[in-house]
Structure 1
Amino acid sequence: MNDLRTTAAATGPEHAETERLRQALAEAAYSITPSPPPLAAVERWGRRIRRRRRAAVLGAGCGLLLVPLAVVVLRGTEPGAARATSPAAPASVSPSPSASSTAPAPTPRVVAPGEHVTAAPGFELWLTAEGKHWTTPSSPEPQFRGVVDGNIDRNTPGVSVQGESEDGRGYLSGLYYGGKGTASSVEVETADGTVRGKLIELPGNPGWGVWYAIADLTSGEDPFHLDTRVTVHDTEGGVYARSGPR
């Protein structure tokens, strides 16, 4: 106290008041006992911060890993991309159906009136409502066989035969008519074997048509040998019309 008075006397009343406040504050501070620091709480808080940081780092790492996977998946879904899947079981392949034995039978070629059909060079045929017209290499002038002049009976099945030979080949043709059903094919029996020919008709199912064939005459026999026979079959495999021995 003497010091305060001495200091107050030396420095003035204001300075002495300041010193008294300082000493009072110092004494109050010395009388306060500080509480122990909350070390456990600080440690828990620090651990929480570290866990959050690790979780954030792991989340970022997983996100980086998922990006390539997502790219792979997206690429796999693009058109034409190879799929990483297990191979599928091979699909069963049905054998291609073979030609059916019940395929429709052939029918005559339908030609327009006056339409020329070339069977071989110089051997041409054409049909009109009056009958059959044709030429052969040895007879280039048109020949004619009528169907409306009374020479044939179209109500009775029959086959006519006309033909010429030249250079070892026979040019054979004729009319067929009067059969039941639909004509399909023709066979010509010659001294050199059986020859298959073709059929032509006018449109509208006229009830008659023309057959023609070319025969190689290796034996030198006349194509109109007595053994020559022409058979026109129908679409059911039966006989539509047949010529008798000549």
Structure 2
Amino acid sequence: MAGMKKYAAVAAVAVALIAVPTAAHSAPQGKGAPAAVLSAHVTGHPAHAPALPVAKTAPTARIVAPGEHVTEPGGAEFWLTAEGKHWTTLDNTDPQFRSVVDGNIDLGTPGVSAQVEGTAQGHVTLSGLYYGGKGTASTVTVRTTAGTLHAKLVELAGNPGWGVWYVSTDLPASDKDFGVKHIVVRDTEGGVYSRLDLS
């Protein structure tokens, strides 16, 4: 009989321990334990624990399908094929083309090309190829006589070893001699993927 009483007492304690978090969790706000304490009871972690830092991921080029058109805010359109870069602008709707297979570009050596096209209204579209660098291209900075621009990148899937950068800007009326000084493509680690110096 003493053994039965001891067993019943142990069972009652176990039931009480199991029921406590459930009862605390279901207590309405404003009654019983504060919400912060409820959270600590249910999760097992203090409610005021600092959030873990979120790791930042370096940007990479937008991956496009062959022939998929990408429209730049100024109205220019770009599309890529295995042969190279194609584009049109608002002032020149005839497709233009820059080959990556005609032998004029060594995809095994880091490089950047540039095309600059302006309108009579002072809008300039800048674009070009980047190629041959190690790692993954991440950002493009274009330093011009009118200031520094940050370009976007597009590539075909499958790591072709080249891609296209593009950016546009409106020039101040006083800027009559716009020019590109240099272009730097950086990889996801912050190193130089390729560059072009024109000044």
Q: Give the TM-score normalised by the residue count of structure 2.
A: 0.74
Equivalent residue for 1:95, pick from 39, 46, 50: 50
1:159 aligns with 2:112: yes
Q: Which runs of 5+ in 1 are unaligned?
A: 1-76
Matches within 5 A, 1:137-216: 137-166=90-119, 167-216=121-170
Specify whether residues 206 and 116 from structure 1 end up closer, same or farther in structure 2 by C-alpha distance, changes over 3 A only.
same
Paired-residue identity, %: 56
Q: How much is the aligned-residue C-alpha RMSD, in angstroms?
A: 2.5
The 3 A distance-change label for structure 1 pair 159 and 82 is closer
User: Structure 1 pair 83/115, CA: closer, same or farther in 2 (3 Å)?
Assistant: closer
CA displacement at 1:169 relative to structure 2: 1.6
Partner of 1:220: 175
Q: Aligned-pair distance for 1:162?
A: 0.5
Whether contact under 8 Å (1:122, 1:140) holds in the other structure is: no
The aligned length equals: 165
Deviation at 1:85, TM superposition (A): 7.2
Shift of 1:243: 0.8
* C-alpha distance 118-95 of structure 1, shift in aligned 2 (>3 A): same
CA deviation vs aligned residue, 1:27-76 (integer Å, no higher than 9, x gap): xxxxxxxxxxxxxxxxxxxxxxxxxxxxxxxxxxxxxxxxxxxxxxxxxx
Q: Tell whether the 8 Å contact from 2:74 to 2:168 is kept in structure 1 after alignment.
A: no
Answer yes or no: is the 8 Å Cα contact 1:132–1:146 preserved in 2.
yes
Q: Which residue in 1 is equivalent to 2:188?
A: 235
Cα gap change, 1:97/1:150 in structure 2, threshold over 3 Å: closer, same or farther? same
Task: Give TM-score scaled by structure 1 length.
Answer: 0.61
Alignment of 1:19-30 (within 5 A): none
Matched AA of 1:87: A
Match of 1:128 among 78, 81, 90: 81
More strand by proportion, 1 or 2? 2
Shift of 1:83: 9.9
